[in-house]
């Protein structure tokens, strides 16, 4: 199921949504943008419980302290409950980067890992977890 402009308006009255603070967790800032695009943010904003991290937002939902949590698809594990994917057209692109730390004593392992992620098998694995193909 995908959260989109045509999703039922039942999202206008959820109990307590958990949202990580946008600055420390830019990857979830799209949640607020998406809710604004759907015209839902003003209705639920007073009930939002902010977390410091996406893991904490997930924990709020898992423990019942929030009814829903906006987290990256990569953190959703099979059998942990229902999820709805937020359509990419509802928020600005969320970019992430990969790098090898200059001072690392494992430069070669880092290069092999980046090569793997850049290859077809790595790209398929990333896609399986909700990431779009790398832009080169």
Q: Among 61, 59, 60, 53, which Cα is nearest to 24's?
A: 53
- Give the separation between CA 62 and CA 54, rounded to whole angstroms: 12
The pLDDT value recorded for residue 20 is 53
The pLDDT value recorded for residue 39 is 95
The pLDDT value recorded for residue 71 is 85
Q: Which CATH superfamily is domain 2-90 in?
A: Periplasmic binding protein-like II (3.40.190.10)
Tell whether the torsion through CA atoms of 71, 77, 83 and 88 is positive or negative.
positive
The pLDDT value recorded for residue 94 is 79
Which regions of the chain carry the CATH code 3.40.190.10?
A: 2-90
Segment-wise mean pLDDT, segments of 10 residues, the chain, 136 residues: 42 52 59 92 88 85 88 84 86 82 90 92 87 73
The pLDDT value recorded for residue 68 is 87
The pLDDT value recorded for residue 4 is 41
């Amino acid at each position: 199921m995908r959260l989109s402009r045509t999703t039922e308006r039942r999202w206008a009255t959820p109990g307590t949504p958990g949202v990580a603070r946008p600055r420390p967790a830019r990857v979830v800032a799209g949640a607020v943008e998406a809710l604004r695009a759907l015209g839902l943010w003003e209705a639920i904003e007073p009930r939002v419980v902010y977390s410091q991290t996406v893991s904490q937002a997930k924990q709020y939902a898992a423990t019942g302290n929030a009814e829903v949590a906006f987290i990256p698809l990569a953190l959703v594990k099979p059998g942990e409950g229902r999820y709805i994917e937020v359509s990419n057209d509802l928020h600005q692109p969320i970019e992430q980067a990969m790098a090898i730390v200059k001072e690392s004593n494992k430069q070669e392992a880092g290069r092999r890992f980046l090569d793997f992620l850049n290859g077809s098998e790595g790209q398929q694995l990333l896609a399986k977890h909700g990431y779009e193909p790398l832009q080169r």
